[in-house]
Amino acid sequence: MYSEKVMDHFNNPRNMGEIENPSGVGTVGNAKCGDVMRMYLDVDESGVIRDVKFKTFGCGAAVATSSMATELVKGKTVQEALQVTNKAVMEALDGLPPVKVHCSLLAEEAIHAALWDYAKKQGIVIEGLKEPVGDITALENA
Give yes or no for residue 56 binding another protein (CB under 8 A).
yes
CA contacts within 13 A on the Cβ side of 42: 11
Q: Is 138 in the site for another protein (CB under 8 A)?
A: no
Q: How many residues form the binding site for another protein (CB under 8 A)?
A: 24
Question: Site for another protein (CB under 8 A): which residue of 3, 5, 14, 16?
Answer: 16
Q: Which is nearer to another protein, 30 or 83 (CB)?
A: 30
Helix (H, G, I), strand (E, B) or coil at 85: coil
| Residue 6, Cβ density class (10 Å: 0-12 exposed, 13-18 middle, ≥19 buried) | buried
Would you say 46 or 141 has its CB closer to another protein?
A: 141
The answer to whether 19 contacts another protein (rule: CB under 8 A) is no
Phi then psi for residue 37, to 5 deg, are -120, 140
Residue pair 100/59 in contact (Cβ under 8 Å)? The answer is yes
Q: How far is the CB of 51 from another protein (least distance, A)?
A: 17
Near another protein in 65-104, by CB under 8 A: 99
Minimum CB distance to another protein smaller for 5 or for 126: 5
CA 93 – CA 63 distance, rounded (Å)? 12
